[in-house]
Structure 1
Amino acid sequence: MNKKYHLFDVYGIELEYMLVNQSDLKIAPIVDALLIKKHGKLTSDIVNGKIAWSNELVAHVVEIKTNGPTKNLNGLADLFHKNVLEINALLKPLQTELLPTAAHPFMNPVSETQLWKHSYSEVYELYNRIFNCKNHGWSNVQSVHINLPFFDDKEFEKLHAAIRIILPLIPGLSASSPILEGKLTGFKDTRLEYYKTNQKEIPEMTGLVIPERVFTKLDYFATIFEPIKKAIKPFDTHNILDHHFLNSRGAIARFDRNAIEIRLVDIQECPKADLAICALIIETLKLLVNKKLSPLAAQKRWTKEDLYVILNDAIKHGETSVIENLDYLNVFDIEDACSIQDVWKHIYQLAKPNIHKSHYKTIETILNEGTLATRIEKVLAEDYSESNVLKVYKSLTSCLETNTLFLK
């Protein structure tokens, strides 16, 4: 049985990266070779001290994550960076390296996707049969997952209410996927634009991305898990899929480990940026859970439809998305319509005393200079030639290697 933790006692952070060729950044589906180099033989999970490495659905994505729950967020950026350096050192003789950001700028998923062929592959094959994973929403996505514990229904209620409220704001902090197939897509967070519909064959799985208003385990099973199980049954004839994994909302309850996993954060250019964003999100949730911003009843009344309207605009416009819903802004003690960038600046001032000083500069850079998507667009300066896009994304791989922010 998993040990149960109280709210904000521990954290679990997961970062996903693509393997690409050093010269032209083309997809390199060789995560198995990386894991063999590290472990001596093929395994799908490697424990590397406080960090673990594992494969994903596709053969070109590796996930590095905290090895179980951790109490301390503050040293994690350096720890993740050490693992990035180790992976890049192992990949160097294979002329391969890790690529940050939430979407590959050139990948053609139809011709380049290779599913993971080893452990768990029967599940991936089934997913592929149902959804066709050879598309951007499946094989060209990289995110940060934040796992937060709850002890019982009472804590679940507070945490789920708070998380639902802030989900629409996340693209305005972390959007990092403005380019697909060499073109500007018109969405700051193209990963999430695909996320909305990549499981359209069984709409019960993603719902409206924002989870329903459910605040007990019993309600969650009845409202979310049961419809998913029913919808998947005709496809999953051998009963190999678990409802916890099938639930693809922007935050999912994991009752198997008493945690909620937030999935809407795009991965950044380096762990320093990822962990600063995680710190700000977590401290914002603490303000909500501790009723420093608004009472629980006010947080719980928000429908998924109303929150989705705000999220949808944020996916397109990122931090420049303007929120005109004054009731929503009142939750954060803001009285007039403003951009998501301004909402985050306001929240940051409230949360700052509780955020470790090591994150200040990074958060302030993101809040002042814009999301990584915006910074990428600025540096590209409307030149979307392959050579220019390649140059910009090569410099992003350097940011990952040096653990520094991407700035003009």
Structure 2
Amino acid sequence: MTIGTEHEFSINDSEFHPLPVSDQILKEICGSFESEILFGDVWLAKELQKTVIEMVPRSPAVEIAALESQLTQGLSRFYRIFGNRYRLLGLGMHPTARVHEIPVWDHDEGEYYRTYDRLFDIRQHGWLNIQALQINLSFQDSSELVFLFNRIRSLLPYLIAITASSPVVEGKLTGSCDNRLLFYRQNQKELPAICSGIIPEKIRTVADHKRRMESIWRELRSRDADILCEEWVDSAGVIVRFSRKCLEIKALDEQESIRSDMAFAAFVRPLLRCHTLPVETGQDALLELAELAVQRGTSGLKDELRQMYDLAWRNATPDERGYLPIVRDRIENGCLAERIAGRISRGKALTTVLADMETCLRENRAYGL
């Protein structure tokens, strides 16, 4: 099984104010306002909001370490070119951004954004202030697709718990660990089937999934939104990309470093090798667990996460085991959101915490280790 990842980082000034300059960065590198460019070992790409830039490995890989190498070389090249002009920051949301101050990409694909805006109003945090870690896993045939889809679906609450990293909105702690998902799962509430409350329904066959997508497309067509009738319109926590022959896990907050991102990729894959997992599969139960994860991070699911970690360790390759201690640290000591919230609650200035997060990204170091 090959694996790929996608990473979204906010672009900031020295005080961590978001800078709407993704277009200027891409133009400075290649000479024009391209939406995606090859940048050595990675692809650099725009996002909807100009305050975020996406970084994707040049190619999927079998070994996690190979992905990490591509990404760290890409980041190193970025820092060599731009030095201290920009401070990149992970995390699931920008912690001080206000959506009315965030401009939308305006160089191409405007027809898609205008349609989304007409249907859902994109001037909200769930559109303009989200940063996700996406994990893409290949499948070989229909039976493997169905198995992987259902297994990942059942893992989503636990993955949300350990990757939550967005406890701050517009400069204030909210009491929730994953505010990105709180906003994201409502950003298309006018057509709730698109997001499925993050947890999609179990499927028995590929046809089940295709019927769900066709029902979404029918609704979009009825609203004169045919342009959105593509597989990527699906916004559930795991989606099928037939065009890439992979499953995309979309429910995860971006972390503070590439190293930590890789750790969660290394956690998912061995769990997919287990013949059985002691996890819930019912829709209502999974939605309840996801809510617990969004609100409390790891604190409400420690016993289950410890059991899951032991299974992952037993089924992991040597390559994957090299990253798993980071996951264990998050299970035992709290996800990034819990730790950020704890520091701020104890009086640490937000800018100091963000400086530590930025250093972790620049040095490719897991926070707390």
Q: TM-score range by the shorter chain?
A: over 0.9
CA contact (8 A) 1:375 1:407 kept: no
Aligned to 1:80: 71
Amino acid at match of 1:120: E
| Of 244, 257, 282, the match for 1:303 | 282
Aligned to 1:333: none
**Aligned equivalents of 1:177, 1:256: Cα separation in 2:** 31
**Aligned equivalents of 1:58, 1:42: Cα separation in 2:** 14
Query: 3-state SS of the aligned residue for 2:228?
Result: coil
Query: 3-state SS of the aligned residue for 2:297?
Result: helix
Aligned to 1:278: 265
2:228 corresponds to 1:241? yes
Residues 55, 226 of structure 1: CA spacing in aligned structure 2 closer, same or farther, 3 A cutoff?
same
Query: 3-state SS of the aligned residue for 2:192?
Result: coil
CA contact (8 A) 1:208 1:304 kept: no
| Of 176, 183, 186, the match for 1:187 | 176
Cα offsets for 1:110-134 (capped at 9, x unmatched): x212111112122122212222222
Comparing 227-236 with 27-36, greater Cα deviation is found at 227-236
Normalised by the length of structure 2, the TM-score is 0.93
**Aligned equivalents of 1:157, 1:175: Cα separation in 2:** 27
Query: 3-state SS of the aligned residue for 1:316?
Result: helix
Cα offsets for 1:8-67 (capped at 9, x unmatched): 1x1121011111112x21111111111112212221111134421111111111111122
| Of 223, 238, 242, the match for 1:255 | 242
CA contact (8 A) 2:313 2:321 kept: no
Aligned to 2:105: 116
Query: 3-state SS of the aligned residue for 1:59?
Result: coil
Cα offsets for 1:153-182 (capped at 9, x unmatched): 111121112111111111221111111111
Query: 3-state SS of the aligned residue for 1:390?
Result: helix
Query: 3-state SS of the aligned residue for 2:227?
Result: coil
Aligned to 1:14: 6
How far does residue 306 in structure 1 lie from its aligned partner after superposition? 2.1
Query: 3-state SS of the aligned residue for 1:47?
Result: strand
**Aligned equivalents of 1:63, 1:236: Cα separation in 2:** 30
**Aligned equivalents of 1:72, 1:221: Cα separation in 2:** 31
CA contact (8 A) 1:31 1:55 kept: yes
**Aligned equivalents of 2:224, 2:354: Cα separation in 1:** 39
**Aligned equivalents of 2:342, 2:310: Cα separation in 1:** 25
Residues 116, 68 of structure 1: CA spacing in aligned structure 2 closer, same or farther, 3 A cutoff?
same
**Aligned equivalents of 2:320, 2:281: Cα separation in 1:** 31
The correspondence of residues 1-150 of structure 1 with structure 2, limited to 5 A, is: 8=1, 10-22=2-14, 24-92=15-83, 95-109=85-99, 111-150=100-139
Query: 3-state SS of the aligned residue for 1:115?
Result: coil
**Aligned equivalents of 1:206, 1:293: Cα separation in 2:** 25
How far does residue 354 in structure 1 lie from its aligned partner after superposition? 5.1
How far does residue 401 in structure 1 lie from its aligned partner after superposition? 0.7
Comparing 62-71 with 162-171, greater Cα deviation is found at 62-71
How far does residue 267 in structure 1 lie from its aligned partner after superposition? 0.9
How far does residue 339 in structure 1 lie from its aligned partner after superposition? 3.8
Amino acid at match of 1:233: R
**Aligned equivalents of 1:180, 1:343: Cα separation in 2:** 32
**Aligned equivalents of 1:358, 1:160: Cα separation in 2:** 26
**Aligned equivalents of 2:351, 2:118: Cα separation in 1:** 33
Comparing 38-47 with 25-34, greater Cα deviation is found at 38-47
| Of 235, 253, 256, the match for 1:269 | 256
**Aligned equivalents of 1:169, 1:208: Cα separation in 2:** 15
How far does residue 144 in structure 1 lie from its aligned partner after superposition? 0.8
Residues 166, 235 of structure 1: CA spacing in aligned structure 2 closer, same or farther, 3 A cutoff?
same
CA contact (8 A) 1:19 1:99 kept: yes
CA contact (8 A) 1:91 1:97 kept: no
The correspondence of residues 168-247 of structure 1 with structure 2, limited to 5 A, is: 168-222=157-211, 224-237=212-225, 239-247=226-234
Aligned to 1:374: 338
Segments of 4+ moved more than 6 angstroms = none
**Aligned equivalents of 1:171, 1:342: Cα separation in 2:** 15
**Aligned equivalents of 2:185, 2:319: Cα separation in 1:** 31
How far does residue 369 in structure 1 lie from its aligned partner after superposition? 2.2
2:298 corresponds to 1:319? yes
Amino acid at match of 1:209: I
CA contact (8 A) 2:238 2:250 kept: yes
CA contact (8 A) 1:204 1:228 kept: yes
Structure 1: state its 5+ residue gaps. Answer: 1-7, 323-337
CA contact (8 A) 1:319 1:339 kept: no
CA contact (8 A) 1:78 1:272 kept: no
Structure 2: state its 5+ residue gaps. Answer: none
Normalised by the length of structure 1, the TM-score is 0.85
**Aligned equivalents of 2:154, 2:242: Cα separation in 1:** 20
Aligned to 2:354: 393
**Aligned equivalents of 2:224, 2:52: Cα separation in 1:** 25
**Aligned equivalents of 2:163, 2:218: Cα separation in 1:** 34
**Aligned equivalents of 1:130, 1:252: Cα separation in 2:** 21
RMSD between aligned residues: 2.1
Amino acid at match of 1:108: R
